[in-house]
Amino acid sequence: MENIDVLLEWSAMTNKGDHALMAESPTFYRAFGPCMDSLKEMYEKGNMPLVDELVFAKKSDPPIYTHDMEQKCDWSIIFKKTTMCDFPFPNDRQLSPIEQFKYLQQETSGTSQSILDETQMLGIENFLENRVSLIQGPPGTGKSFLGTKILRLMLSMEIPKRFGGPILVMTYKNFALDHFLEACLEHTPNIVRIGRTGSEKLSEHLLGKVYPYLMMQAAADKIYYPTDTYRKHEIPQYCQ
């Protein structure tokens, strides 16, 4: 009872604005211990990714793939399909993806050529210009929709194939991940779902089912899923 009275007294003091008090639990943060230890070890060894942005809060450097002059991108993902015919890129010089995007933005200004709204286009620009990009908004504002557009842009630039490794998608809840990956299935069959899923569409993508076929790639450049769903789709070698 005494502890409760003390907490109530502290709460009243905080509400008055005279003091700010924080009570630390000796056990609440223990679940984060292994993650923090791993991050500390990575930092001490000098192999922690995105250390400038995540640790020192420095301005993010542009991603390599958005400034590659040889990088191609399917802009029909976010612009109307007639845009590329009506507003072709100049022939006198090559443009990187970020330059292509800004060129199309400038040339199509006021013509309603984008299939995204103004804030979503800012999100695309943020993604193209920064290694770390944050997009926030209340429910129903199109964050997942924009996320699928960004993922499709990355696939059209062949980022996994050109730079090695798959694209990792993480969410706080299983349902959110299922919802996002189901939308991605409409554009690529090459998805591996780790963990439990409540989606029938993703059941054939569970790691336990696709793992044997991924391992078979050590003996062949390309293989095929044996299921009807993927009979016509190849698993690219970079999905290992």
Read off the pLDDT of residues 121-149 as tens digits, 9 standing for 90 and up.
999 999 999 888 888 888 888 898 999 99
Closest to 175 in 3D by CA, of 211, 151, 123, 139: 139
Last residue of a domain, one of 40, 61, 82: 61
- In DSSP terms, which residues pair with 114 in a beta bridge? 79
Sequence length of the chain is 240
Residue 195 belongs to some domain of the structure: yes
| pTM, rounded to two decimals | 0.71
- In the chain, the number of structural domains is 3
Unique residue bearing structure tokens 């286009």: 121
Q: Rounded to 10 degrees, what is the CA torsion of 164, 182, 189, 212?
A: 80
Range of the structural domain that residue 191 is part of: 169-233
Q: Which residues contact residue 166 at a Cβ distance below 8 angstroms, ignoring those fewer than 6 apart?
A: 160, 192, 238, 239
To the nearest whole percent, how much of the chain has pLDDT over 90?
A: 12
C-alpha distance from residue 229 to each of 181, 204, 235 (Å): 16, 9, 13
Residue 190 belongs to some domain of the structure: yes
Q: Which residues contact residue 76 at a Cβ distance below 8 angstroms, ignoring those fewer than 6 apart?
A: 83, 84
To the nearest whole percent, how much of the chain has pLDDT over 70?
A: 82
Residue 21 belongs to some domain of the structure: no
Do 157 and 212 have their domain in common?
no
Average pLDDT score, the chain: 79
Do 111 and 188 have their domain in common?
no
Cβ neighbours of 205 (radius 10 Å): 21
Do 67 and 129 have their domain in common?
yes
Do 37 and 113 have their domain in common?
no
Do 96 and 76 have their domain in common?
yes
